[in-house]
Amino acid sequence: MSVREIIALGTASQVPTRLRNHNGYFLRWDDEGFLFDPGEGTQRQMAFASLASSSINRVCVTHFHGDHCLGLGGIIQRASLDRITHPLYVHFPASGAQYFERLRYASIYYPAAEIIPSPVRELPSLAVIADTPTYTLYAHALDHGVPTIGYRLEEKSGRRFVPELLAAAGVSGPLVGALSRQGSVTIDGRTVTVDQVSTHRRGSVVAFVMDTRPCAGALALARDADILVMEATYTAEDQSLATEHGHSSSADAARTALEANAKQLAITHFSQRYASTEQHVREARAIFENTIALHDLDRLVIRRDK
């Protein structure tokens, strides 16, 4: 079975530190790779994580503050340098198109890769921005000081074979594969369908909610997510700073996860004012127990409903 995981490439906010690079997250999803908010230094972090530029299929930018996008120009140029053979889609707030163009052509290079700009309007509801046979990618406007969007990747639901039902129906060996491909098989004159020997399998959901105050958009993106990756720039002790600057505190992130019925919360995007994230985690777990604080190069495996 192919791997699904989140790799934290950077977990700092506006100012990187000795231990935390600018923002950046890589989502490995079966045969595709999603790069979220490539801040400055993302290429080097990818090297530490043993990620090649060819592993990226889509780049998703939440907004055009520097800590979320200054690495984008390098990623685009690296795709050409490495001659990646597949299209590279770049999703970003439509109102920031001028910043995308400036980053894309920030210096001289030979454009050899196919870059497909995919601007997203900041809509007040979940909007489909990519739909494939196996997943749907959504976006939703957030509440920051500049136009900002969050992302939600949702696996298409499917069916899961039940061994006892297969045995009772006499389906075994190569017939199981035939049933999966064809939807039905005939055994001794009887037709057995997939629905008769399987149950519904919910698809996995991952949500990325960066710079924002608590809002309806964050809740919609995080609804029933297996993993919610959300900023917690400030501790609850500094709640006034979070609200003033359009950010979330550790308590805000935890309340979002709780209200959205998420399974796990991974907080990140920490202000340089904090030497430790212990207080963030303590405050968040008091509201939503299954909370972790991300550190650079952490890996989170996404469990599947088998």
Q: Which helix (H) or strand (E) holds 91?
A: strand 88-93
Find out whether 62 and 148 touch, Cβ atoms under 8 Å.
Answer: yes
Quick one: CA torsion of 245, 10, 89, 228, rounded to 10 degrees? -70
Catalytic site residue from 31, 37, 67, 131: 67
Please report where in the chains the tokens 């050409």 appear, as a residue: 80
Q: How does DSSP assign 12-49, residue by residue?
A: B-SS--SS-PSSEEEEEETTEEEEE---TTHHHHHHHT
**Of 31, 99, 112, 12, which is closest to residue 61 (Cα–Cα)?**
99
- Check residue 119 and report its DSSP letter: E
CA–CA separation, 54 and 26 (whole Å): 13
Please indicate whether residue 211 is annotated as part of the active site: no
Q: Provide the angle, in degrees to the nearest 10, between the axes of the packed helices 72-81 and 97-104.
A: 50
Residues acting as catalytic residues? 67
